[in-house]
Chain A
Amino acid sequence: MYTQSLDNHGQAPVDTAAEDAQRCAQFQGRVDLDERIEPKDWMPDAYRQTLIRQISQHAHSEIVGMLPEGNWITRAPSLRRKAVLIAKVQDEGGHGAYLYSAAETLGVSRDELLEQLLSGAAKYSSIFNYPTPTWADVGAIGWLVDGAAIVNQIPLCRCSYGPYARAMVRVCKEESFHQRQGFEIMLALARGTAAQKQMAQDSLNRWWWPSLMMFGPNDADSKHSAQSMRWKIKRFSNDELRQRFIDATVPQAQFLGLSVPDPKLRWDEQTGHFEAGPIDWNEFFDVIKGNGPCNRERLEARRDAHAKGAWVREAATAYALKHRADGLTRAA
């Protein structure tokens, strides 16, 4: 999802077999009993590295994810929509903050993580490398992208690593509003003029497939899945979650009177599921590699914001050093 189980930057996780086998077995025993693992508990290094990679990619995705929607804050069509969009984008920044702080409990510093994002070494969800040329895209992102995120994040609330699971509980409480405000935008457009409805349809056409790709490669090609399932970092496979999203979303598109851009999509009486056509994975891997429509622009925007904020960070540091002696009002 926001992490897409693709990237293994940094050193390759240590082979668990090389570590104390008995400790690993004990650790697996705790996981099997559905116990939560906390920061100071012993854990296999591969578990730690997997979590650092997944949680930081998730955090980066929240932060970069502020950009496509942020693009519309100054041009939202009403004060109400503007207030909602600001709140939504601010939430995403908050999600990034919860997640970075969860990642830091594993012994990695915020600076290192930020550096990995800004240098381009770290990955983030491919979905945020698509542009938002129309207002309908703000609706489609809330409805589809946040909708897909919810399907992925709900099982993560039961992830074996305590701080990640707790961050996800907080995030999930906030996501529902994101999806509903997006659907409301789509509904207003779908019930509007022919041109507005067309704008909504065009946006669905562009966001549908990238949203399905958010769940990551098909199970057969997903290299980290089996181990993550054993460790209960992941509870359901990419394809299972994708199917759940399709089943929930297709009827919503039908309600809007919009058509899902998949000529092969059909309802399967036997299985009770919608069956979707094949996904163009070449596009997905291309975007992951850095060749999506906005990869460059997104990273540049992050670097630019970081550089332009340098004086603020420096001033705050200088101010704090000067006033170090001052105490704070006692907690009460």
Chain B
Amino acid sequence: MSATQWPLYEVFIRSKGGLDHKHVGSVHATDANMAIEHARDVYTRRMEGVSIWVVPSASIVASDPQEAGSLFEPARDKVYRHPTFYEIPEEVKNL
């Protein structure tokens, strides 16, 4: 870590209790505590959050978009996993 190039942290914010944390952007910081303070200043100036997660960007492992086809292919033809696949007579209720 040089004096200028601080590690990058991805920022996730829970906008209110009951909701998931959502990715909002990133900040540079010397450590995780500073990343939270920066995230507070940069992403929650208008009460946008009640909780912040920061994760070193280098720790995120992502799927490769080039391989999205084969990665998600197994789910593609299994339409029977959706309720609309099944035909139920109209007169049957609550199903």
Q: Is the CB of A320 within 8 A of B31?
A: yes
Shortest distance between the CB of A85 and any CB in chain B (Å):
15
Residue A308 at the B interface, CB < 8 A? no
Q: By the criterion of a CB under 8 Å from any partner CB, how many residues of chain A are at the interface? A: 34
Are the C-beta atoms of A104 and B42 separated by less than 8 Å?
no
Any A CB within 8 A of the CB of B84: no
Give chain A residues whose Cβ lies under 8 Å from the Cβ of B5.
109-111
A256 at the binding interface (Cβ < 8 Å): no
- Interface residues in B2-26 by Cβ distance below 8 A to A read 2-6, 8, 24-26
A94 contacts B42, CB within 8 Å?
yes
From residue A245, how far is it (CB to closest CB) to chain B in Å? 26
A94: chain B residues within 8 A (beta carbon): 41-42, 45
B-contacting 9-mer, from A34-42, A127-135, A268-276:
A34-42
Q: Once bound together, how far apart are the Cα atoms of A302 and B14, in whole Å?
A: 34
Please determine whether B62 and A317 come into contact, CB atoms closer than 8 angstroms: no
> What residues of A have a CB within 8 angstroms of the CB of B24 in the complex?
170
Task: Give Cα A98–Cα B11 distance, bound, in whole angstroms.
Answer: 12
Instruction: Judge whether A202 is part of the interface by a CB distance below 8 angstroms.
Output: no
Query: Given A42-B66, A97-B42, are A111 and B4 neighbors across the interface (CB < 8 Å)?
Result: yes
Q: Which residues of B are found within 8 Å of A17, using beta-carbon distances? A: none
Which residues of chain B come closer than 8 Å to A109, judged between CB atoms?
A: 5
Cβ of A331 within 8 Å of any chain B Cβ, yes or no, is yes
Given contacts A40-B62, A167-B25, contact A320 B45 (CB under 8 A): no
Q: Could you say which of B32, B41, B45 contacts A328, with CB atoms under 8 Å apart?
A: B32
Q: Name the residue of chain B whose CB is nearest to the CB of A328.
A: B32
- B28 in contact with A316 (CB, 8 Å): no
A314 sits at the interface (CB 8 A)? yes
Task: List the B residue with the shortest CB-CB distance to A110.
Answer: B28
Closest partner residue, chain B, to A167 (CB atom): B25
Give the complex CA separation of A167 and B43 in angstroms: 11
Does B64 sit within 8 A of A, measured CB to CB? yes
Query: In the complex where A38-B65, A42-B66, A94-B42 touch, is A321 in contact with B25 (Cβ < 8 A)?
Result: no
Which residues of B lie under 8 Å from residue A316 when comparing CB positions? 30, 34
CB-contact partner of B65 in A41, A104, A313, under 8 A:
A41
Asked whether A12 is an interface residue with its Cβ less than 8 Å from the other chain, the reply is: no
Which of B30, B36, B46, B51 interacts with A320 by CB under 8 Å? Answer: B30
Knowing A101-B26, A317-B6 touch, does A323 contact B42 (C-beta < 8 A)? no
Q: Which of A170, A323, A331 has the most CB of B within 10 A?
A: A331
Contact yes or no, B31 A324, CB < 8 A: yes
- Give the nearest-CB partner of A319 in chain B: B30
Q: Which residues on the A side are within 8 Å of B1 (C-beta)?
A: 317, 320-321
Contact of B3 among A101, A167, A310 (CB under 8 A): A310
Q: Please report the C-alpha to C-alpha distance between residue A104 and residue B28 in the assembled complex, in whole angstroms.
A: 11
Q: In the bound complex, how far is the Cα of B24 from the Cα of A170, in angstroms?
A: 9
Q: Within 8 Å of chain A (Cβ to Cβ): is B59?
A: no
Contacts A90-B45, A328-B32, A331-B53 aside, 8 further interface pairs with beta carbons under 8 A come to A101-B26, A109-B5, A114-B4, A170-B25, A310-B3, A316-B34, A317-B3, A328-B31
What are 8 A-B contacts defined by CB distance under 8 Å?
A90-B45, A91-B45, A94-B45, A101-B25, A110-B5, A110-B28, A167-B25, A328-B32
Q: Which 9 A-B pairs have the closest CB atoms?
A: A320-B30, A328-B32, A320-B31, A101-B26, A331-B53, A316-B30, A97-B42, A314-B3, A41-B65
Chain A contacts to B: CB under 8 angstroms: 38, 40-42, 87, 90-91, 94, 97-98, 101-102, 104, 109-111, 114, 166-167, 170, 174, 310, 313-314, 316-317, 319-321, 323-324, 328, 331-332
Q: Using CB atoms and an 8 Å cutoff, list the residues of chain B in contact with chain A.
A: 1-6, 8, 24-28, 30-34, 36, 41-42, 45-46, 51, 53, 62, 64-66
